């Protein structure tokens, strides 16, 4: 599940229950709790990978089944776009991570993390992360930028 190829992602189940079961199995013993690690793994797949559309939908539905995950009806990404978020409080670190999606298409927009409990010298209410995905694309070559004809040097 860590840094998988697109071909591997195509083999993952698109049934949310089966997908979540596989995530728990493959991440057993990792992270600070099974539920937090499952949430983190889904987040890594949603944020770091370009995945098939059916898998993205399954990941969203699977994440919603993880204990402690809540829906936030109004969340904003770093670009100021409003969306709907899936959020979970990490009990060990005291921060709440939100993955923000377009409310109509469920396209991933970005993320936000807020410190909820005092921990590691970070005060509650502190925004510790805010991101926005402005463009995603598939290119033909390594180091090639979307819209460019050849690989950039």
Confidence of residue 53 (pLDDT cuts 50, 70, 90): confident
- Higher-confidence residue: 25 or 5? 25
Query: Which of 7-21, 44-58, 98-112 shows the highest mean pLDDT?
Result: 7-21
Task: Please say whether the beta carbons of 116 and 30 come within 8 A.
Answer: no
- Which is it for the CA torsion 53, 54, 56, 57, positive or negative? positive
CA distances to 34, 47, 71, 83, 119 from 107, in Å: 26, 11, 15, 10, 32
User: Mean pLDDT throughout 89-109?
Assistant: 90
Stated as kind and residue range, the H or E segment containing 51 is none
State the chain's mean pLDDT as an integer. Answer: 89
User: Mean pLDDT throughout 70-88?
Assistant: 95
CA distances to 58, 99, 107, 134 from 77, in Å: 22, 9, 12, 10
């Amino acid at each position: 599940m860590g840094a998988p190829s697109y071909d591997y992602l195509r083999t993952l189940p698109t049934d949310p229950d089966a997908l979540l079961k596989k995530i728990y199995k493959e991440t057993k013993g990792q992270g600070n709790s099974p539920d937090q690690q499952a949430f983190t793994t889904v987040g890594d797949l949603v944020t770091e990978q370009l995945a098939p559309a059916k898998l993205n939908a399954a990941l969203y539905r699977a994440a919603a089944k993880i204990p402690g995950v809540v829906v936030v009806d109004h969340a904003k990404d770093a670009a100021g776009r409003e969306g709907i978020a899936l959020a979970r409080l990490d009990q060990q670190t005291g921060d709440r991570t939100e993955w923000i999606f377009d409310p109509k298409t469920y396209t991933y927009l970005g993320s936000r993390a807020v410190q909820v409990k005092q921990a590691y010298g970070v005060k509650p209410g502190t925004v510790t992360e805010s991101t926005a995905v402005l463009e995603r694309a598939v290119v033909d070559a390594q180091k090639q930028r979307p819209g460019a004809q050849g690989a950039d040097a």
